[in-house]
Structure 1
Amino acid sequence: MLDRLDLFGTGFAADPYPALAALRHTAPVHHDPGTGLWLVSRYVDVRRVLLEPGTYVPDNAQRAVAPLPMSALRALARAGFTLPPALADNGGSTHAGLRRLVMRFFSSERVSAAMPVIEETARELAADIRDRFSAGATCDLAADYARPLPCQVMMRLLGIKGISADKLLKWSDAALELFYGRPPAERQTYLAELVGDFHRWLSDQVAGAAPEDGLVGALRNHRLPGGELLDRATAVAVCFFVFIAGQSTTGQLISTVLRRVAADPQAWSRAATEDAFASAWVEETLRREPPVTTWRRIAAREVELSGVRLPAGAHLLLMLMGTGSDPDVFTEPEQLCPSRENVRHHLSFGAGRHRCPGALLARTEAAVALRTAAHLLPDAVLMEDEPPPMLGLLSFRAPLRVPVRRMGASEPQQSR
C-alpha cells in the first residue's frame, strides 16, 4: 500500500484511514518519494515534535508544496506578495509577542461576547435554506451554510465592510490550493492572481484607518522585542494566516460535522436540543476527521524518531489526522463516540507554542452551527449513498458537498 501512496490522490482523500493505519503499524517514520517529506504518523512522535520547537522548526509550515511556475511567481510579484515569518511558520523571537496579540482576540471572554453574533449569523443562514428544505428541495449545507458562516462572523466581529463574503472565501480557498495543492501550471497562475488580489486587499487594510481596538489596529501599533514597530509586511502575514484559518478551515470543520451528524437521525435530533451533545460531536469529529490533516516541520539537527535516524534539514510531515486514530491512545478509534473520555487529547489543533490560537472560536462556531441547523432543519437526512467529493490538499480535507433533504419529502432515505 505505501509504495502506491499518493497524498494528493482522490483515493487517499476519500478514505485515508487504511494508509494512515499502515503508516503507524509498519512505517511510523516513512520517506514519501512523491513529496520528499518524512511522514510521522504515531501520536507519541507527532506530539514530541510539536513540543520541541527548538529541535523541529516551523520554517516550512506555509511554503508551497508544489513548485510554482514562472507565470505564477510573476503574478505574485506584481502584487508585491511576501509573507515574512509571523505565526505558524515563525520560530524566532518575534513569535511570542505576535501570538499573545492574536490570542487576545480569541480569548474565552471575546468568544463568549461573540456568541450573539455567531448565533444570529447561523440563524440567518439556516433560515434562508429552510423554505427550500421545507418544500422538499435538496440543500447543500456545505456551500450554503457551513462555508459562509465563519466568514460572515469574522467580518462582523472585525468590522469588515466594502467586500463580499464570497470574495473573501474565494481568495482564502485559492491560497490553500496554491500553497497546499498540486494543481497544473495554468491553474497555479490563475490561483496566484487571486492570492495577489487578496494580498493587495490585506495590505490596504493594514495601511488604512482600521480601528485601534481591532486586530489590524493592534498589529499596526505592535512593538517587536527591540522596541521597533512591527513592519507592514509582517502585519499582513499575520492577517493572511488569521483570515484563512478563520474562514476556510473552520468552514471545513463545520461541513464535516454536519455531514457526520446528518447521517445519524437520532444524533441530528439530539443536537437540536442538547448543547453538550453538539459540542461533544464537534470534539469527536476533530479527533477522527479534522480539517487540518497534516502540518510540516524541519529537523534543526540530526534526530531519531521511532528508531529512524533523520538528518539535519529533513522535512517532516506530521500526520495529525492519523494521530486521532492511534489505538495506543484512543480505544476503538474508528468509532465516533461523543462520550469518549479522553477526546480532548487529540492533536488536531497542534500542541505547544504553535497550538491553534483560534481553537475555542472554531469549536464554538461548529457547535452553534450544528445546533442551529438541527433545530431549524428538522428531519434532515443525508442524500448521498456514496462518499462525497472531497477537498484533498496536503494539509486540508473536508467534504465539498453536504446534500440534505427533509425525510418524507421524496423517497425515504436510509442513513449511513
Structure 2
Amino acid sequence: MTSPALDAPGTGTAGRGPAVCPVSPDARDPLGLLDLFSDGFVSDPYPWLDALRSESPVHYDPVTGLWLVSRHHDVRRVLLDPDLFRPDNAQHTVAPLPVAALRVLARAGFTLPPALANNGTASHPGLRRVVARFFNGQRVEAAVPVIERIAEELLDTVRSRIDTTGGCEMFASFAQVLPCRVLMELLGIAGVAPATLIRWSDASLELFWGRPTRERQVELAQSVGEFHQWLTATLRAGTAPSDSFIGALTRHRLPDGRPLDVETAVGACFFVFIAGQSTTGQLIATLLRRVLGESGMWPRVAGEAGLAEAWVEEVLRREPPVTTWRRVAGRSTELGGVQLPQDAQLLLMLLGSGSDPEVFPDPERMRPHRANIRHHMAFGAGRHRCPGASLARTEAAVALRAVARRLPDVRLAADAGDPPMLGLLSFRAPLRVAVEAIHRATPS
C-alpha cells in the first residue's frame, strides 16, 4: 500500500471552521492562516489563491508539509519536467492511516504500485498507450450516441420527478450517474452495479485525498478494500472480453517482455475507473450550477452551436474538478525564485493557475469564448496529461445540452442556498444541484 505522505497536526476533522480572509488588514501573516481543508477555503478559495500568486507563489505550508505552487508558468514548468519533478507521490494518502485502517486494507490485499498517475518508470508509456486507445478521438466520437442515450434515460426519470414534485436534485440523479454508466459501456466493465462503483470511487477519493476522522478512515478502508478485491478477482479470472479495457491490460507486455503483473493492472484499473467517472460527474455538476445561474444563458446552450463546449472550457479554467496535483522534487532545484530541497513535496494549484491574470485577463469573469481558453491546465500537461480529457469534455457538453433541451423550464431552486461542497485536497465540486420548475402564469 502507498505510504501516507503527510502527517499534519490537528488532522482528524473535515475542517477546522471558517478560514480567515487572507487580505484581512489585521492579519500579520495572512498566508499563515491558510487551511486547505477549512470550510472557508473550500467555499471560496479564490482570495487565498490570489494571495498565494501575488505574495508567495511557491509557498511552504507547514500544516501539510507541501510547497504550494500557484502561478501558471511555474505549474506548467513542473508538469512538463517529470524527470525532475516526479509523480511518485500523486496517490499518497493525505492523512496518515490508523493501524485499524491499515489492517483492513492489508486483509484485502491492497497494494497500489506505480501504474499511471504515480508512475515515473519505464513502464508508464506502454500502460498509457493502453489507456489512450480507449479514449482516442475516434472512440470518443463513436461514444456520443451512447452518452446521448444514457442522458435521455436518466432525464426521463428527472423529468417525471420534476413534473410530480416540482423539483429534483441533479447531482445524484444525473451528473454523478451519467459518466459512470458511460465509462462502464466504453471499457466493458461488467459484474458490478453503477451505484457500487460510484460508492467505491467516492470512498477512495475521500480516503486518499481527504482528512476524515480515524473512525471514518476505517469505514472508508472497508469500501476501498472491497473495490480492490473485486478488481483483483476480475483480473485473475481471465474472463474479461478481449476488446474490454481489462482484456487489453491482461495482454499487455512490460518493456522487458514480461506480462503485466496483476497488481500493476489493478493499480491502473483503480485509477482509470475512478478518474474516468468521478471527476467528470463533478465537472457536470459545477457546469450545471454555473450555467443555470447565468442570466439568460440556459435557453442559449440548448441550441447555440459551440456554446456548451465553450462553457465546459471556461468552467475547467475557473472551477476544475481536479484542483491540485502533487509532485516531488528529484533533486534540489529553484522554482519561482525559491530554492527547493531534494524530495520537496509540491502541490500544484491547478485551480489557481486557471485564474492567473498574467494568462487570463479578468479571471473572475466567466467568458466562455476566451481566445486562449485551452491554455488552462485542468487536465494537467505533458507526459501525464489526462488521457480521458477528450471524453470528459464531450460528456460534459453533451450533458449540458441534453439537460437544457429536456428541462427548459427549470432554474436553481430558490431555497437551496449554497450547496455542500466536496472539499478534498485535489477535488472540489458541488454535491447538490437542486432545480425547480418555473411556474409561468397561464394565459386567461
Which TM class, normalised by the smaller chain length?
over 0.9
- What CA distance in whole angstroms lies between the structure 1 residues aligned with 2:51 and 2:187? 44
Query: Deviations for 1:115-140, whole angstroms, at most 9, x for unmatched residues?
Result: 11111001111111002223452211
For residue 413 of structure 1, what is the aligned residue in structure 2?
Answer: none
Are 1:218 and 2:248 counterparts?
yes
- What CA distance in whole angstroms lies between the structure 2 residues aligned with 1:398 and 1:409? 31
Aligned AA (1:403): A
For residue 89 of structure 2, what is the aligned residue in structure 1?
Answer: 60
For residue 198 of structure 2, what is the aligned residue in structure 1?
Answer: 169
Write out the 4+ residue segments of structure 1 that deviate beyond 6 Å after TM superposition.
Answer: none
- What CA distance in whole angstroms lies between the structure 2 residues aligned with 1:89 and 1:409? 53
Shift of residue 409 of structure 1? 7.0
For residue 403 of structure 1, what is the aligned residue in structure 2?
Answer: 434
For residue 414 of structure 1, what is the aligned residue in structure 2?
Answer: none
Native 8 Å contact 1:133 1:377 kept in 2: no
Native 8 Å contact 2:134 2:187 kept in 1: no
For residue 115 of structure 1, what is the aligned residue in structure 2?
Answer: 144
For residue 317 of structure 2, what is the aligned residue in structure 1?
Answer: 287
Q: Percent identity?
A: 62
For residue 270 of structure 1, what is the aligned residue in structure 2?
Answer: 300
For residue 197 of structure 1, what is the aligned residue in structure 2?
Answer: 226
Shift of residue 408 of structure 1? 1.9
Are 1:81 and 2:110 counterparts?
yes
Shift of residue 276 of structure 1? 0.7
Shift of residue 271 of structure 1? 1.1
Are 1:329 and 2:356 counterparts?
no
- What CA distance in whole angstroms lies between the structure 1 residues aligned with 2:165 and 2:293? 18
Tell me whether 131-140 or 143-152 shows the greater mean CA deviation. Answer: 131-140
Tell me whether 283-292 or 205-214 shows the greater mean CA deviation. Answer: 205-214
- Trace 1:4-403 onto structure 2 (pairs within 5 A): 4-135=33-164, 137-208=166-237, 209-384=239-414, 386-403=417-434
Shift of residue 98 of structure 1? 0.5
TM-score (norm. length: structure 1): 0.97
Tell me whether 259-268 or 165-174 shows the greater mean CA deviation. Answer: 259-268
- What CA distance in whole angstroms lies between the structure 1 residues aligned with 2:305 and 2:243? 32
- What CA distance in whole angstroms lies between the structure 1 residues aligned with 2:35 and 2:439? 41
Native 8 Å contact 2:87 2:328 kept in 1: yes
Native 8 Å contact 1:142 1:255 kept in 2: yes
Query: Deviations for 1:321-362, whole angstroms, at most 9, x for unmatched residues?
Result: 000000000010100111111000001100000000000000
Shift of residue 265 of structure 1? 4.6
Q: Helix, strand or coil for the counterpart of 1:316?
A: strand
Shift of residue 160 of structure 1? 2.7
The number of residues matched between the two structures is 410
Q: Helix, strand or coil for the counterpart of 2:277?
A: helix
- What CA distance in whole angstroms lies between the structure 1 residues aligned with 2:205 and 2:247? 26
Query: Deviations for 1:67-112, whole angstroms, at most 9, x for unmatched residues?
Result: 0000000000011000110011100100011001110000000111
Q: Helix, strand or coil for the counterpart of 1:92?
A: coil
Query: Deviations for 1:148-206, whole angstroms, at most 9, x for unmatched residues?
Result: 00001112223333321111100000000000000000000000000000001111221
Change (3 A) 1:275 1:150: farther
Q: Which runs of 5+ in 2 are unaligned?
A: 1-21, 23-30
- Superposed CA RMSD: 1.2
Change (3 A) 1:199 1:409: farther
- What CA distance in whole angstroms lies between the structure 1 residues aligned with 2:116 and 2:191? 27
Shift of residue 264 of structure 1? 2.1
Q: Which runs of 5+ in 1 are unaligned?
A: 411-416
Aligned AA (1:345): H
TM-score (norm. length: structure 2): 0.91
Ranked by relative contact order (alpha carbons within 8 Å, sequence separation 6 or more), the top structure is 1
Native 8 Å contact 2:71 2:353 kept in 1: yes
Aligned AA (1:391): L
